[in-house]
Amino acid sequence: MLGDKDVCATIAVRDMAAATEFYGEVLGLQASNESPGGTFFKSGNSGVFVYPSPGVAGTNKATYAAWSVTDVEGTIEGLKAKGVSFEHYDDLPGVTREGDVHIMGAMKAAWFKDPDGNILSFSNMSDKQ
C-alpha cells in the first residue's frame, strides 16, 4: 500500500528560526511549503518536515533521519566546515570507529545533532547500491 510512496521524517524543534538556518543553510536543504505548523525541507525525492514542539524537541534518543551519501568522509569535512560536530558511539556491537566515521563492514556512517539535539546521520549504504 505505501511501498511505492515517498516518506518524510518529521522532526520536532524548539526554535524554528534556528532550525530553518540549520536545515537550510548548514545542511543545504531547500525549504518549501512553509506554514505556521512547520516547514518541509526537500532532500532528493523526499525530505524532512520540521515543526515547532518545544516540549518534545530533542527528547528522541534514536536517529530521526538518515541520508545516503557516496562520500562519508567528504560529507563530514563539508559539515565540519559549517560548524557541525559529530557524535561518537563506541559501544555499538561489531562497529569500529576511525575519527568520526563508524565502520560496519562495507558500511560507513556518521551521526550528528541539530541545534535541538535531534540525532541525524548519513551513510554510504542504500537500497540503490
Q: 39 near 16, Cβ under 8 Å?
A: yes
Confidence check: pLDDT of 23 > 80: yes
Q: Give the global pTM.
A: 0.90
Query: Locate cell 543553510: which residue?
Result: 25
Chain segment 57-69, per-residue pLDDT in tens = 889 899 999 999 9
pLDDT in tens, 83-98: 999 999 999 999 999 9
Residue whose grid cell is 562520500:
71
Pairwise CA distance, residues 111 & 122, whole Å: 7
